[in-house]
Amino acid sequence: MNFLHLLSSEAVQHIIIHCLNVSVWTSSEDLEDERESVRFKAWTGEVFEKGGELEPDVLEDSCWIKDGRWHQTHFVFHSLDPTLLPVVNIYNLPKNSPSSRYHLEVGPVCFL
């Protein structure tokens, strides 16, 4: 990984959270504050979070819709510091219940 970091000037990674009747990001109407949003741990140990210095781009956030159908929140991590990626952990994921579920789609890192 260090070799890729040294040869690169930037990096990009996509993570999609597919959700059924559960919110994961504060841009949704259902979450009351930023502490309820998911957070992502970078390779270096820093944290990508809503309102933080490192905040992911959100291409789509429809997880706040609770209509019994699957929706998604699509995060893009683009950094001019390639040592931040890949994302190595995701914090504050919602708890599953009989009526709510989620699953993760973690994309590869593209080092540029």
Each residue's pLDDT tens digit, 84-111:
999 999 999 988 888 999 999 999 999 9
Mean pLDDT across the chain: 90
Domains in the chain: boundaries: 2-111
| Encoded amino acid at 44, one letter | T
pLDDT tens for each residue of 7-59: 999 999 999 999 999 989 876 455 455 567 899 999 999 999 888 888 999 99
Amino acid at 1: M
Pairing of strands 110-111, 101-106: unpaired
Farthest-apart Cα atoms in the chain, separation: 47
Report yes or no: 105 and 18 within 8 Å, Cβ to Cβ.
Answer: yes
For residue 97, the model assigns a pLDDT of: 87
- Predicted pLDDT of residue 50: 84
CATH classification number, 2-111, choose in 2.40.30.160, 1.10.1740.110, 2.60.40.10, 2.60.120.1000: 2.60.120.1000
Return d(Cα 86, Cα 94) in angstroms, integer: 22
The predicted pLDDT at position 28 comes to: 47
Least confident segment among 23-27, 41-45, 61-65, 74-78: 23-27
Strands (E), the chain: 11-20, 39-41, 47-48, 57-61, 70-79, 89-91, 101-106, 110-111
Q: Report how far residue 21's alpha carbon sits from residue 37's, in angstroms, rounded to the nearest whole number.
A: 15
pLDDT of residue 34: 57
